[in-house]
Amino acid sequence: MSKASSKDEALGLHFIRRRMSQLFEKREHQHVVIWCTSLMMRYPRLAILYEHRAQAQRLLDRDEAALRDIDTAVQLAPREPAHIFCRGKWRLEAGKYDPAVADLTVALRLEEELGASHYRNYGLSLRALAHIMLGRFEEARIDVERISPNNRMFARGRVWTASDLARCIARKRRPLR
């Protein structure tokens, strides 16, 4: 690939991300779906398009379509932790705890390999919550100990802190909500 086309691709990707942010900010989720679908005709292997469309589908309560799109994003970019993290979070919210743990574990490992920490606390928190829901309190405790103490996350309809998760583990009980 020439330097010129590489630069053009980088500019195109920057434009796509900026435009997606604008559409999400305006809550124009149907426009995101339409725009991503049209761009997929030109760039069928661009995983970020499938992730954005999946997020919009999800916000439009089209969960099956969202899951198909996020699965496609993971297939197209299997070493991209963002797509796998997103799928793990959605699986947790859907009550599919074992697949959620598997996805979050892979996303955390990939992120560590890349030397990044964007999803570390949130991923550990979500994985700890999935372990709690499965009754795996020791695994949950290990994850909670690795979370920054002032980290907060939103999951299962409420805000969680590491100490909230630790209380569930100490009582060996699932959260009520």
- The domain of 121 spans 79-177
Q: What is the pLDDT along the chain (177 residues), one digit of tens a residue?
A: 444 444 445 456 667 777 777 776 777 788 889 988 988 898 889 898 999 899 999 989 998 999 999 999 999 999 999 999 999 999 998 899 999 999 999 999 999 998 887 888 889 989 998 998 999 988 988 988 888 766 666 555 555 666 777 777 777 766 654
One domain, residues 110 and 73: no
CATH of the domain at 130: 1.25.40.10
Cα torsion angle, 96, 97, 99, 103, sign: positive
